[in-house]
Amino acid sequence: MYVCLCQGVREAEVADAVASGADDMDGLVEALGVCTGCGCCRELVEALLDKPRPAGRRRAMDAFNRITIASAS
């Protein structure tokens, strides 16, 4: 399903971007360009950000964050 028609962004792309760390509106705007056209998708994007993530993705993201933090220090 398309989330942002102006930028041609689908729900799966938003989910992937969130799983990769773009887990707020600013991150999604930067990563995908959502809400940078007409702005009609803002409410839907916000709803997707509030959507609970599957446990597998949460675990993968937690592991990614641990690795990233360990690598940075």
**Nearest to residue 36, comparing CAs of 8, 10, 1?**
8
Distance from C-alpha of 48 to C-alpha of 70, rounded to nearest angstrom: 29
- The CA–CA distances, whole Å, from 68 to 30, 61, 64 equal 20, 10, 6
Spatial distance between the Cα atoms of 12 and 30, rounded to a whole number of angstroms? 16
Considering the complex, what minimum distance in angstroms separates the CB of residue 8 from ligand FES? Answer: 9
Q: Considering the complex, what minimum distance in angstroms separates the CB of residue 26 from ligand FES?
A: 15
Name the residue nearer to ligand FES (CB basis): 17 or 35.
35
Q: Which is nearer to ligand FES, 40 or 47 (CB)?
A: 40
Q: Which is nearer to ligand FES, 47 or 63 (CB)?
A: 47
Q: Which residues bind ligand FES (CB under 6 A)?
A: 4-7, 34-41
